C-alpha cells in the first residue's frame, strides 16, 4: 500500500535554478570571485606601498601589468555576475536515481518454454507424417495459428518473466528482451515534460509568514500595486508585501522597497511564469536534454558524466560520487541467505557447494556457497501405521503405531548458505514448504546477459521414466537472512565531489589561506623587506600550485558529453509563453525511442528583451 502511494506521489516538479550557484561549482565560482576581489584590493594598495619605499621607478614599469590585472579581475567578477544573474526554471525527469517518475518493469509474464542447452527456444513442429518433432527453428506465426507448430512448454505449466505469450508472436524471444532494470523511454521523458506544462495546479504558491498582517489588510506586490482579500490561512500566487514604514529616524521613507516587509514566502515554484501568471503570452525559450540509450550500461555511464558536469543542480550534487550503475548493483546484489532444507532425497543426490537451487512455486534462486556439516542429519520423519494386534486370547484389534519412514536415512536435513540471484521480477524468497530443485543454465535472460536458470531435466519430464533426468530435490524448512556483508566503499551518499576530483578540496583550502596571506602581506610589507620577499615567494609558489590545480579542473570540465546518448532540443525565444514551448516539445522529432532515459528541461522567460536561455545555450555548447 505504501509503495502504491509512493507511486502516486512520484512527479517531476519545476524548480528554480541559477547556473554556477549551488554545490561545488557554485563554491568554485565564489572562490574565483574572492580571488578577483582580493587581487583588486591588493592592486590599489600595491602602489601606495611602493610609494612609501620610494620604488616609483619600479612602479612605472609595472603599471601596464597592474592595468591588465585590474581588467582580468573585472572580467572574472563580471563573468560570475553574468552567469549568476541568469535564472531559469528546470524540470528534472529521473526514473532511476531521484525516481520522480515511474519506470515500467521491462518484462511480461508468459508460459515457460523449454530451451536447448544453448538457450534456444524449443518448438514442436509436425513432420511429413504429422508427428510433432522437437526443433529449435522458430516457426512462423501462421504455422502456429494453423497448428503445424506449437511451443514446447514446460510441464507442469509455469508462468515466468519472459515466457511464451501466444499474443506476442513467435518472432522475437521475449526472454532476450527482458531487463532487470525498469524502462523509461525517451518518448516518456518528453511526455513528462509536456505534462508538466499541463498541470493546472502547478502554480507558484506563497504562504503567510509568522507575524503577517491580519485578514483583509491591504497588501502590495513587488511593484507597489495594492491587493485586497488578504487572508493569512490561504495560499497566494505571488509575493506580497506590507505597506512598509512611514518614517525612519524622523525622515520620510524614500525607498518604499527597502522599507516594506514580505508578508508571505514561496513554498512552491510552480511552472514557468511571469509575475505569477503561468498563462503569460510573453517570450519564453527552453533547452531540453535527454540522456538515453538502449543499453543500460551506456545510459548509466552518460548519466554519471552528465551529473558530474552539473553538480550545481541540487539533484546531481547528491548523486556525485556514486554511479547510477553502482546503486543498481547494490540493489541487485542481495545479502547471503541461510536456508534450512529438509527431506533432501539421497536417491537423486544431495546438494553440494556450487549447486544452484530454485524454489518451484515462489521462484527463489540461490547458488550454494556453504553447507553446514553439523546440520547434515537424517530428516526426522514419523507417520502412523495402522496395524492389527492379537492378544493372548486370540482377539484382534486395529491400532495406529508410530513408525519412522526414514529409518534407512534416505531423506536428509541440511543447512545451506547461498548467494541469492535477483531475477527480473525481483528477489524471490524461499517460502517454507516450497520444493527446491537443482537448476542448470539454459542460455541467457535479458539485456544484461544474466544466466537463465531452469530445473535440471525439465525437458525430460514428459519422457518415459528410464529416459528422465531427475534433479536433486529438497524442501524448504526455513529461510533466514545471513549477516549483511561489509559494504565496499564508496558508500551510497557518503562521498563528495571533492573526494573524487583530484585537488578539489585542496583548491578551496589553499585559496582561503591565500586570501589571509595577502591581507597579512599588505599590513607588514612596509616594515620588513626580507619578510616581504619571503612572503612573495610563498605566494608565488601558491599561485603555481593554484595554476596546476586549475589545469586539473580544466581537464575535467573540458570533457564534453559524447553525442552518443545525449539529445538536445533548443527552443529559441518565442512569444507564445508556456503553450508555445509545450507544442514545440510535442511536435519536435529526431529523438529515437530509447529504452532507458532521463531528462532535464530548462525554461527561461524573457526579461527586458533578453532571454537567459540564450546564455545557457551558449554555455552548454549548443550555439
Partner 1 sequence: MAKETKKNPFEDQEESNWHPAEIRRRDIQKLLENTKKLAETYGSFLEIKRKGWEKMLKSKQRDIEKRLKEQNG
Q: Which of 3, 395, 547, 609 binds partner 1 (CB under 8 A)?
A: 547
Residue 32 binds partner 1, judged by CB under 8 A: yes
Residue 145 binds partner 1, judged by CB under 8 A: no
Give the burial class of 175: count Cβ atoms within 10 A of its Cβ; 0-12 exposed, 13-18 middle, 19 or more buried: buried
Taking the least distance from each CB to partner 1, the nearer of 404 and 509 is 509
Q: Which of 216, 491, 540, 593 binds partner 1 (CB under 8 A)?
A: 540
Quote the CA–CA distance of 611 and 613 in Å, as a whole number: 5
Shortest distance, position 47 Cβ to partner 1, whole Å? 11
Question: How many of the chain's residues bind partner 1 (CB under 8 A)?
Answer: 76
Site string for partner 1, 4-23 (x = CB under 8 A): ---------------xx---
Shortest distance, position 475 Cβ to partner 1, whole Å? 56
Residue 146 binds partner 1, judged by CB under 8 A: no
DSSP designation for 545 = H
Q: Are 418 and 339 in contact (CB under 8 A)?
A: yes
Q: Which span (127-135, 163-171, 395-403, 552-560) binds partner 1, by CB under 8 A?
A: 552-560
Taking the least distance from each CB to partner 1, the nearer of 212 and 591 is 591
Q: Which of 14, 21, 25, 371 binds partner 1 (CB under 8 A)?
A: 25
Taking the least distance from each CB to partner 1, the nearer of 341 and 561 is 561
Residue 589 binds partner 1, judged by CB under 8 A: yes
Taking the least distance from each CB to partner 1, the nearer of 428 and 584 is 584
What's the distance, CA 45 to chain centroid?
51
Q: Which of 136, 331, 401, 543 binds partner 1 (CB under 8 A)?
A: 543
Residue 618 binds partner 1, judged by CB under 8 A: yes
| CB crowding 80-90: b at 16 or more within 10 Å, else e | beebbebebbb
Neighbours of 10 (CB within 10 A): 14
The C-alpha cell that represents 247 in the structure block: 518614517
Residue 319 binds partner 1, judged by CB under 8 A: no
The C-alpha cell that represents 240 in the structure block: 506580497
Residue 29 binds partner 1, judged by CB under 8 A: yes
Query: What is the chain's alpha carbon radius of gyration, rounded to the nearest angstrom?
Result: 36
Quote the CA–CA distance of 266 and 206 in Å, as a whole number: 4
Residues 55-94 that bind partner 1 (CB under 8 A): 55, 58, 61-62, 65-66, 68-69, 72-73, 75-76, 79-80, 83
Cα angle value 437/438/442 (rounded, 5°) = 115
Residue 401 binds partner 1, judged by CB under 8 A: no
Residue 554 binds partner 1, judged by CB under 8 A: yes
Quote the CA–CA distance of 499 and 480 in Å, as a whole number: 38
Residues counted in the chain: 623
The C-alpha cell that represents 92 in the structure block: 528534472
Q: Which of 394, 397, 530, 608 binds partner 1 (CB under 8 A)?
A: 530
Q: What is the phi/psi pair of residue 547, to 5°?
A: -65, -40
Q: Which of 93, 344, 439, 620 binds partner 1 (CB under 8 A)?
A: 620
Residue 136 binds partner 1, judged by CB under 8 A: no
Residue 45 binds partner 1, judged by CB under 8 A: no
Supply the DSSP string of 515-571, one letter for each residue: HHHHHHHHHHTTT-HHHHHHHHHHHHHHHHHHHHHHHHHHHHHT----STTEEEEEE
Quote the CA–CA distance of 416 and 431 in Å, as a whole number: 15
Shortest distance, position 59 Cβ to partner 1, whole Å? 9
Q: Which of 529, 575, 593, 610 binds partner 1 (CB under 8 A)?
A: 529
Q: Which span (414-422, 478-486, 491-499, 546-554) binds partner 1, by CB under 8 A?
A: 546-554
Shortest distance, position 615 Cβ to partner 1, whole Å? 8
Q: Which span (198-206, 305-313, 326-334, 385-393) binds partner 1, by CB under 8 A?
A: 305-313
Residue 522 binds partner 1, judged by CB under 8 A: no
Shortest distance, position 317 Cβ to partner 1, whole Å? 14
The C-alpha cell that represents 58 in the structure block: 619600479
Strands 226-227 and 219-220: antiparallel
Residue identified by cell 585542496 is 506
611: CB partners within 8 A, 6+ apart: 283, 284, 285, 573, 604, 605
Residue 570 binds partner 1, judged by CB under 8 A: yes
Taking the least distance from each CB to partner 1, the nearer of 284 and 428 is 284
Residues 252-291 that bind partner 1 (CB under 8 A): 288-290
Q: Which of 532, 576, 579, 607 binds partner 1 (CB under 8 A)?
A: 532
**Coil/strand/helix, residue 505:** helix
Residue 350 binds partner 1, judged by CB under 8 A: no
H/E element holding 134?
strand 132-135
Q: Are 348 and 468 in contact (CB under 8 A)?
A: no
Shortest distance, position 509 Cβ to partner 1, whole Å? 16
Quote the CA–CA distance of 291 and 599 in Å, as a whole number: 6
**Coil/strand/helix, residue 305:** helix
Amino acid at each position: 500500500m505504501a509503495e502504491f502511494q509512493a507511486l502516486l506521489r512520484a512527479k517531476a516538479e519545476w524548480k528554480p535554478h541559477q547556473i554556477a550557484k549551488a554545490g561545488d561549482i557554485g563554491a568554485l565560482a565564489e572562490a574565483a570571485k574572492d580571488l578577483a576581489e582580493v587581487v583588486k584590493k591588493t592592486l590599489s594598495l600595491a602602489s601606495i606601498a611602493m610609494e612609501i619605499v620610494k620604488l616609483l621607478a619600479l612602479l612605472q614599469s609595472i603599471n601596464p601589468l597592474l592595468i591588465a590585472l585590474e581588467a582580468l579581475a573585472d572580467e572574472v567578477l563580471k563573468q560570475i555576475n553574468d552567469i549568476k544573474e541568469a535564472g531559469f526554471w528546470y524540470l528534472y525527469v529521473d526514473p532511476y536515481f531521484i525516481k520522480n517518475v515511474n519506470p515500467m518493469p521491462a518484462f511480461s509474464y508468459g508460459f515457460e518454454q523449454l530451451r536447448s542447452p544453448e538457450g534456444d527456444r524449443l518448438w514442436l513442429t509436425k513432420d511429413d507424417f504429422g508427428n510433432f518433432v522437437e526443433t529449435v527453428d522458430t516457426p512462423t506465426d501462421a504455422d502456429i495459428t494453423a497448428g503445424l507448430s506449437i511451443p514446447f512448454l514446460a510441464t507442469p505449466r509455469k508462468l515466468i518473466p519472459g515466457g511464451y505469450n501466444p499474443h506476442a508472436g513467435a518472432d522475437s524471444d521475449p526472454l532476450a528482451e527482458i531487463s532487470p532494470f525498469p524502462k523509461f523511454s525517451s518518448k516518456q521523458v518528453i511526455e513528462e515534460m509536456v505534462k508538466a506544462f499541463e498541470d493546472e495546479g502547478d502554480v507558484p504558491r506563497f504562504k503567510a509568514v509568522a507575524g503577517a498582517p491580519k485578514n483583509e489588510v491591504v497588501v502590495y506586490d513587488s511593484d507597489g500595486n495594492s491587493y485586497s482579500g488578504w487572508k493569512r490561512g490561504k495560499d497566494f500566487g505571488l509575493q506580497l508585501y506590507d505597506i512598509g514604514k512611514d518614517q525612519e529616524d524622523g525622515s520620510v521613507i524614500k525607498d518604499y522597497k527597502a522599507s516594506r516587509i514580505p508578508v508571505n514566502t514561496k513554498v512552491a515554484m510552480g511552472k514557468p511564469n511571469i509575475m505569477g501568471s503561468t498563462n503569460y503570452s510573453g517570450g519564453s525559450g527552453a533547452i531540453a536534454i535527454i540522456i538515453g540509450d538502449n543499453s543500460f550500461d551506456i545510459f548509466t555511464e552518460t548519466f554519471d558524466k552528465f551529473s558530474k558536469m552539473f553538480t550545481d543542480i541540487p539533484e546531481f550534487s547528491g548523486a556525485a560520487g556514486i554511479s547510477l550503475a553502482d546503486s543498481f548493483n547494490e540493489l541487485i546484489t542481495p545479502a547471503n541467505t541461510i536456508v534450512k532444507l529438509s527431506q533432501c532425497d539421497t536417491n537423486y543426490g544431495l546438494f553440494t557447494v556450487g549447486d544452484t537451487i530454485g524454489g518451484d512455486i515462489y521462484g527463489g534462486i540461490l547458488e550454494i556457497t556453504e553447507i553446514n556439516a553439523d546440520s547434515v542429519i537424517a530428516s526426522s520423519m514419523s507417520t502412523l501405521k495402522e496395524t492389527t494386534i492379537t492378544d493372548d486370547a486370540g482377539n484382534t484389534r486395529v491400532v495406529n503405531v508410530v513408525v519412522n519412514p526414514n529409518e534407512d536415512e534416505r531423506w536428509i536435513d541440511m543447512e545451506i548458505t547461498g548467494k541469492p540471484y535477483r531475477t527480473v521480477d525481483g528477489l524471490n524468497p524461499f517460502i517454507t514448504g516450497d520444493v527446491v530443485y537443482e537448476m542448470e543454465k539454459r542460455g541467457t535472460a535479458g539485456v544484461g546477459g544474466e544466466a537463465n536458470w531452469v530445473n535440471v531435466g525439465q525437458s525430460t519430464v514428459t519422457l518415459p521414466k528410464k529416459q528422465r533426468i531427475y534433479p536433486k530435490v529438497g524442501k524448504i524448512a526455513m529461510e533466514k537472512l545471513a549477516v549483511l556483508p561489509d559494504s565496499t566503499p564508496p558508500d551510497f551518499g557518503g562521498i563528495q565531489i571533492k573526494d573524487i576530483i583530484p585537488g578539489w578540496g585542496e583548491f578551496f583550502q589553499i585559496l582561503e589561506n591565500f586570501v589571509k596571506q595577502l591581507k597579512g602581506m599588505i599590513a607588514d610589507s612596509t616594515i620588513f623587506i626580507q619578510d616581504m620577499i619571503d612572503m612573495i615567494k610563498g605566494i608565488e609558489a601558491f599561485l603555481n600550485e593554484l595554476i596546476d590545480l586549475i589545469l586539473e579542473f580544466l581537464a575535467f570540465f573540458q570533457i564534453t558529453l559524447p553525442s552518443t546518448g545525449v539529445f538536445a532540443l533548443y527552443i529559441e525565444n518565442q512569444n507564445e509563453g508556456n503553450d508555445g514551448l509545450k507544442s514545440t516539445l510535442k511536435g519536435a522529432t529526431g529523438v529515437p525511442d530509447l529504452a532507458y532515459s532521463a531528462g532535464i528541461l530548462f525554461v527561461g522567460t524573457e526579461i527586458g528583451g533578453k532571454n537567459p536561455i540564450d546564455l545557457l545555450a551558449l554555455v552548454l555548447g549548443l550555439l
